[in-house]
Amino acid sequence: MIAPVLVRMENMKPPIRVEVDHSGTLMRSTPGSDSERVKAELSSAGLDGEELDSDAAAKAVAGATSWYTRANIHELSREEFRTLARRWAAQVVENARLTSEQERRLVASLDGALDEALSSIPLERGEGQQWADAKLKARDRVLEEAVVYLQPAQVAELRETLAWAIAKVLP
């Protein structure tokens, strides 16, 4: 998640105000910010940053549709989680032959559990064990809810899909 990086940058002395675009791949910082400090913070988070020349920066900024700051970065994370939920649901629908009603309930369950996980962790703690625990709790909630509307074989497929997703997506 990029949210903890934004928080750390704004907590620096002097603070660096940064925004990320909708794709999460473009970051802009306050004019006059120390680009080396920005790159160092990105690097410490396991991310790579490259400063664009003025022409490339102008083109990139013109193509960005929306910008996210520390104040609204949860919106971007929530959208990302919903995208993942739909991928996982589609895999289960395909492999376990869910009905449209079962799919609707699964997507709603995933959305609710991931929203709860996201809102349960302070922005500053969007990484690490506490965050991993919140995501695992969300997975367990989805599995508990699924036994009400899925057959045992379908729940097993869901469990396998979410186990893979946790291993592939989570820290």
- The alpha carbon of residue 160 and the mean position of all alpha carbons in its chain are separated, in whole angstroms, by 21
Range with the largest mean pLDDT of 2-11, 35-44, 50-59, 112-121: 112-121
Spatial distance between the Cα atoms of 144 and 153, rounded to a whole number of angstroms: 14
Range with the largest mean pLDDT of 5-9, 52-56, 157-161, 167-171: 157-161
pTM of the model: 0.67
pLDDT at 35: 76
Other beta carbons within 10 Å of 12: 13
Q: What SS3 state is found at 17?
A: coil
pLDDT at 171: 47
Kindly give the interhelix angle for 35-44 and 3-10, rounded to the nearest 10 degrees: 140
